[in-house]
Structure 1
Amino acid sequence: MSEDFIYFLWQFQYFRTTDLRTVEGETVRVIHPGFRNPDAGPDFTQARLFIGEVEWAGTIEAHIRASDWLLHRHQFDRAYDNVILHIVWDKDPIFLKRSDGSVIPTLCLSEWADVTLLHRYQALLAESGAIPCAGRVAAVEPFRRTAMFDMTLLQRLERKASGVMTLFHRADQDWEETTYQLLATAFGFQVNAEPFGQLSRQVPLKVLHKHRDNPLQLEALLFGTAGLLTSEEPDEYETILLREYRFLATKYQLTDRKLPAYSWKWSKLRPANFPTLRLAQFVKLLTSANSIFSYLIETGDSAVLLRYLQVTPTAYWQAHYRFGKSSEKVLATLGQTAAENLIINAVVPLLTAYSHHRDLPEYRDRAVDLLEQLAAENNRVTRIWQQLKIPIRTAFDSQASIELYRNYCQMKKCLSCQIGVSLVK
């Protein structure tokens, strides 16, 4: 039993309402159950109901046991003085009072609900698989899955946009700097996201802009500050970068901002994902437009964006994956999958955040449209859904399914999910 089940019963009124009575014996007639409160305070707000002959408007609090009210110390919180009904599953021999001494009526739902609902809910919670409803999800009406995917996709967009807005405020509300830091983190492709993001904070974009026309100096600034110019016997190109870095780091007071070399992860990475090559590709992207921010938010065609992002670094990196040792066949150009990843994890959140900041919904629509243009991601989570015969065709689907899996399925929040609710019903 969990309080989620009680919320579910009350929100959807899944109990007998004929001759409904409180523990104290008063009749109850629900006009409106109220709205689920996601914040601190009572569980439902704006509820309206008749208790006896009196109409009440206010909040409703739910617990498994009546005595949980005291356990949670609500008796000391004046925010709970507005509670008009206490709904519980187990009634304790306890009578609760507001601070003015008036009794808070209690409704014991176990006396009025169909126990079959509880058994179905418990069966979901008892499942040990990654997705509790795995055995039945394919049988749920497609429109319910679609509605849940729509909801989780929007939740994912909002959450990522919130992270972008945090960057925006830290960057003195400069969208160009925000875009630079966001793209840098995305170029880390999870494994090296943290050092890439830290590097972008150590070397401001305004410093790089002064050398936009000189890729060698850009590489010197970023490779040097990244702590990646550390070869014991550097080749000619690394020697040149190191000399440039020492001069520029002194000029811009960056010497003390250098990252330790151990910040970067190399283990189990394919050469095409080595941080040195990714950083060289990122440098090339920085030279591609006067305003990367403007280009990204004004381009609604995924094919155009993909071509823009699939940069090829300078000549040295077309023959090297890291400093020193050359390779005959280097996959120097940023690949299609990597470019799609950048759109999903940088461009789409950027568009959503900008949409909120400027109150321009067309930018969020553009973000959603880009996801619908891109093919679905292929990862562990999307493969789980596909094995259950759930169609994952576009990046819209894959992003929604990832959010559903991580924030609902793994946490077993089945009664906050339209799919789970339909199965319990």
Structure 2
Amino acid sequence: MNEDFLHYVWKYQLFSIENLKTSIKEPIVVSKVGLHNNNAGPDFLNAQIHINNQHWIGNVEIHLKSSDWYLHNHEMDANYDAVILHVVWEEDATVFMKDNTPLPTLILKDYVLNSALKNYQNLFSSEQRWIPCEKEINTIDGFILENWKERLFFERLERKSTAMKLLLETNKNDFEAVLFQLLAKNFGLKVNGDAFLQLSSSFDFSILRKVRFDENKLAALLFGQAGFLEESIEEVYHQKLKAEYQYLKHKYQIEPIAKNVFSFFRMRPNNFPTIRIAQLSSLYHLHQNLFSKIIEIKDLQGFYNLFSIQVNLFWKTHYNFEKESKLSPKKLTKSFVDLLIINTILPLKFLYQKNRGGVQESDFLDLLKNIKSEKNSIITRFDTIGVKSKNSYETQSFLELKNNYCAKKRCLQCAIGKSILGR
């Protein structure tokens, strides 16, 4: 038995209200269950209850066992002086008020509806399940599910943007600087993400603003700070960037990060950190005010056009500074741009709109509904239990559902779980 379940039963009155009595057989009539309190203090505030034909207005406290009142030291806390009813699953001790009279107690297990208890036991069964409701999720009303997916999507956006808020404060509310750091992290993908974030944070963004008009200076700054210009290589392009970097290093008093933080192991050549740095350099050379442009774009094709870049001619025939390879354009793929939109652009845009005082929710929904479903182990598993995703809006919702609700057994805060329990 879970105390959250008792909260849920009380809040939605999933108990027989006929002949409701306290533990000492005084009749109870619940007019208002009260306001669910998620902060410190009693569980439900300002309830209205008739106990033994007397009308009371006050608070309700809920426990699995009545002795929990003393276990939690409520008798020492003035916040609990206005409790008018103690709701418990079982009474194993008498709780006394300050005037030494017993606190009216409702033993909930005597009144809980069998259907609610059975649904709860099924949902929290000890049977091994990938998610608690995997046998019932396909029976949920479509209207409830659609509304919940939208709520999940914006919860995910909110959580991502909250993490970005700290980065924004560190960068003195410079959205352009934060965008650069977050894009860099995403250019590194999962394997090199932290290394790319370290690279983008190793110098002040104002330096990039000054050098980005010159393609070679910008490339020298990024490759130099990444540690790829520390070696002596005979390649002319490498030597040119190295000389340029030595000048920038002295002028701006910057130091490179360790080259060995970047991984090439078991990576596809197009994902090599050298190629991703070259693409990032070309992007910022082409677009001088990238964040401003991102804010203006609302359609998917607009983003594809924005990220349609050409790498320097050298990188079209190289994957590193030493060995020449077959000619290939090394453009950013649409699937890669989709990842940038999902993981960086939309959360940052959401934060920007919040800071401006209003979120245009349709901007985010319309865009994500036009991006193909993501492919990962969680989405594949949802697919096997019959929950199909039509687009990235739905995959983002289901990722939030799995990671922040199912994995934490937060069924009683989930619309799907509530729907099952309320049957």
Q: TM-score, normalised by structure 1?
A: 0.91
**Which residue in the other structure is 1:314 paired with?**
312
Q: Is the 8 A contact 1:65 1:92 kept in 2?
A: yes
Instruction: Give, in whole Å, the separation in 1 of the partners of 2:44 and 2:408.
Output: 22
Distance in 2, matches of 1:79 and 1:138, equals 44
Inter-CA distance 288–95: structure 2 relative to 1 (3 Å threshold): same
Q: 1:84 and 1:252, CA in 2 relative to 1: closer, same or farther beyond 3 A?
A: farther
Contact 2:233–2:239 (Cα < 8 Å) also in 1: no
Letter in 1 for 2:368: L
Residue from 244, 247, 264 that aligns with 1:266? 264
- Aligned counterpart in structure 2 of residue 348 of structure 1, from 308, 322, 346: 346
Report whether the alignment pairs 1:408 with 2:393: no
Q: Which residue of 2 aligns with 1:124?
A: 123
Distance 1:57 1:178 in 2: 51
- Aligned match for 1:369, one of 363, 366, 370: 366
**Is contact 1:63–1:69 with CA below 8 Å preserved after alignment?**
yes
Provide the C-alpha distance between the structure 1 equivalents of 2:316 and 2:37, rounded to a whole number of angstroms. 56
Distance 1:317 1:420, change over 3 A: same
Q: Which residue of 2 aligns with 1:209?
A: 209
User: Aligned partners of 1:82, 1:355: CA distance in 2, in Å?
Assistant: 42
Asked whether the 8 Å contact 1:66–1:88 carries over to 2, the reply is: yes
Task: Note the C-alpha offset of 1:390.
Answer: 1.9
**Contact 1:15/1:113 (<8 A) preserved:** yes
* 1:286-312 per-position Cα deviation (integer Å, ceiling 9, x unaligned): 123232111111110111112212433
Is the aligned partner of 1:393 residue 2:398?
no
- Assess if the C-alpha contact under 8 Å between 2:131 and 2:407 holds in 1: yes
**Aligned pairs for 1:299-338 within 5 A:** 299-330=297-328, 332-338=330-336
CA apart distance, 1:187: 2.0
- DSSP-derived class of the 1:361 partner: coil
Aligned partner letter, 1:169: E
Question: What CA distance in whole angstroms lies between the structure 2 residues aligned with 1:288 and 1:48?
Answer: 66
Equivalent in the alignment of 2:97: 97
Structure 2: how far apart are the matches of 1:331 and 1:171? 34
Q: In structure 1, what is the Cα distance between the partners aligned to 2:261 and 2:97?
A: 58
1:324/1:29 CA distance change after superposition, 3 Å: farther
Question: What is the aligned partner in structure 2 of residue 107 from structure 1?
Answer: 106
User: Structure 2, unaligned stretches of length 5 or more?
Assistant: none
Scaled by the length of structure 2, what TM-score is found? 0.91
**For the Cα contact (< 8 Å) 1:60–1:85, is it kept in 2?**
yes
Change (3 A) 1:138 1:239: same
Q: CA offsets per residue over residues 33-83 of structure 1, 9 Å max, x none?
A: 234334444333443333344444444332222222333334444444444
Partners of 1:184 and 1:45 in 2: CA distance: 48
Structure 1 pair 213/35, CA: closer, same or farther in 2 (3 Å)?
same
Answer yes or no: is the 8 Å Cα contact 1:231–1:323 preserved in 2: no
Q: Partner of 1:73 in structure 2?
A: 73
Q: Following the alignment from structure 2 to structure 1, what is the Cα–Cα distance between the partners of residues 73 and 420? A: 35
Give the corresponding residue for 1:291: 289
Within 1, Cα distance between the matches of 2:358 and 2:339? 25
Counterpart secondary structure, 1:88: strand
- The within-5 A match list for 1:189-204 is 189-204=189-204
CA distance in 1, matches of 2:267, 2:87: 54
Cα 1:370–1:248 change in 2 (3 A) is same
Measure how far apart 1:199 and its partner are: 2.1
> Aligned-residue CA RMSD in angstroms?
2.3
Shift of 1:101: 6.2
Cα 1:259–1:15, aligned 2, differ >3 Å: closer, same or farther?
A: same
2-structure distance, mates of 1:232, 1:85: 79
Maintained 8 Å contact 1:297/1:350? no
Length, aligned pairs only:
421
Unpaired segments ≥5 residues, structure 1: none
Q: Tell me if structure 2 keeps the 8 A contact 1:87–1:108.
A: yes
Distance, in Å, in 2 between the alignment partners of 1:267 and 1:94 is 66
Larger displacement relative to structure 2 (347-356 or 68-77): 68-77
Counterpart in 2 of 1:12?
12
8 A contact 1:271–1:321 mirrored in 2:
yes
- Equivalent position to 2:379, from 371, 382, 387: 382
Query: Is contact 1:8-1:415 (8 Å) kept?
Result: yes
Secondary structure at 1:415 match in 2: helix
1:190-221 deviation per Cα after TM superposition (whole angstroms, max 9, x unaligned): 33222222222222221101011112211211
Instruction: Give the corresponding residue for 1:339.
Output: 337
> How far apart, in 2, do the equivalents of 1:281 and 1:58 lie?
64
Could you tell me how far 1:330 is from its partner in structure 2? 4.0
Distance 1:366-1:123 versus aligned 2 partners, 3 A rule: same
- Provide the rounded CA distance (Å) in 2 between the counterparts of 1:157 and 1:275: 28
Query: How many angstroms apart in 2 are the aligned matches of 1:197 and 1:167?
Result: 11
Is 1:421 the counterpart of 2:423? The answer is no
**Partner residue in 2 for 1:282:** 280
1:248 and 2:239 are equivalent in the alignment = no
Separation in structure 2 between the aligned mates of residue 317 and residue 180 of structure 1, nearest angstrom: 21
Q: Which amino acid aligns with 1:340?
A: D
- Structure 1: distance between partners of 2:104 and 2:354: 43
- State the SS of the aligned residue for 1:192: helix
Q: Is the 8 A contact 2:311 2:329 kept in 1?
A: no
Does structure 2 conserve the Cα–Cα contact (< 8 Å) formed by 1:349 and 1:367?
Answer: no
Q: Structure 2 vs 1, CA of residues 385 and 247 (structure 1 numbering), >3 Å: closer, same or farther? A: same
TM-aligned CA distance change 1:355 to 1:40, over 3 Å: farther
